Amino acid sequence: MILTDLDPTLVSEQLLAWYDKAGRSLPWRGTSDPYRIWLSEIMLQQTGVAAVIPYYERFLTRFPDTAALASASVEEVVELWAGLGYYSRARNLHKAAVALMEEHGGAFPATVAGLQALPGVGRSTAGAVAAIAFGVRAPILDGNVRRVLARLFALREDPRSSASEKKLWIWAETLTPAVRPGDYAQAIMDLGATLCTPRTPGCERCPLEALCRARGLGLEREIPVKQMKNKVPTVLQVALLIGRDGRLLVRRRPLEGMLGGLWEFPSGVVPEGRTPVQTASALGRDFGAGELVPAGGVVHAYSHFRLDLHLFRAEVKETTRIAEEGESRWLTPAELSDWPLHGAHKKALPLL
């Protein structure tokens, strides 16, 4: 935890000099607008830059400021988010916008504590917004920064352990300069994203190579210490492609919970001791569906389980058992291609 011979000023100076020459050009750079910075930081949680950019641009077109985002429905926000994953971020984004309008008159708090009080904003995100938008000397610790610091200080422990977490935050805070803290935050994130990468770090081009203890010890590929991965369970489900007059039935998922607010084909988990066919037949009876025809399957990976989805086609002649208002729609395959289905069911479209 002690910095010993590592000079924080030297670290920040060399990193900022490198950033001035090699920093990435990104849509949310070159602005001090806290709304745009906050939006980008929320989107970048768990998601890479390349995937975020088109969503970020679409969001700004639709919701150019806090007031526009707060006045939208949460369903609109979730639908525009569809495909970006980790949908609680979208719901918290809307909650935070509403809170900003109701409690702060639409203005962002300029402190880490004030920002961290907003829904979906953790310590690192609050630090990034405070540093970049308001020039506050605030540390950050996202995945890229965690990796840079673990190598810089040759951390030979699990970087996600509580003991390591304390060390990493102390190091992050000590190294963050009072001058240009926003540029420093973006510089160290860029370093982790472009040079200090997980598998093949570009140490020979790194501005901190001479200071990096992992590099000096020849451990840059062994640090950070890899975590033991738990076996990911498989969940077996069925989904019904219920047709009527060339259209298929989809329903919106409950707003709260996993994939909340997105749309899907009628589906259900296959109970233990039952087969997909038996489960699909029981589900089909609830809709008055006729004969079920197997329509293939898809596999989709989530962060904590693997989905094995079996698909069945069925036709209905009358819809007295199916509500056609509210959270159900009959859509053509062409309409479904642009509809905010969640990822697993989006994969089913080519099977139509």
Query: Please, are residues 250 and 262 in contact by the beta-carbon 8 Å criterion?
Result: no
Residues recorded for the chain: 352
173 catalytically annotated = no
User: What's the CA gap between 143 and 192, in Å, rounded?
Assistant: 8
Residues 6+ apart with CB under 8 A from 199: 221
Number of Cα atoms under 13 Å in the Cβ half of residue 48: 6
Rounded to an integer, what distance in angstroms lies between the CA atom of residue 103 and that of residue 332?
43
Residues 6+ apart with CB under 8 A from 55: 43, 80, 81, 83, 84
CA distance 76 to 63: 10
Q: How would you classify the pairing of strands 328-331 and 267-269?
A: unpaired
- Pairwise CA distance, residues 124 & 111, whole Å: 12
Catalytic residue among 13, 41, 165, 220: 41
- Running DSSP on this structure, what letter comes out for residue 228? P
Q: Which helix (H) or strand (E) holds 337?
A: helix 333-337
Structure tokens, 95: 């909650």
Element (H, E) at 43: helix 34-44
Which sequence positions are flagged as catalytic? 41
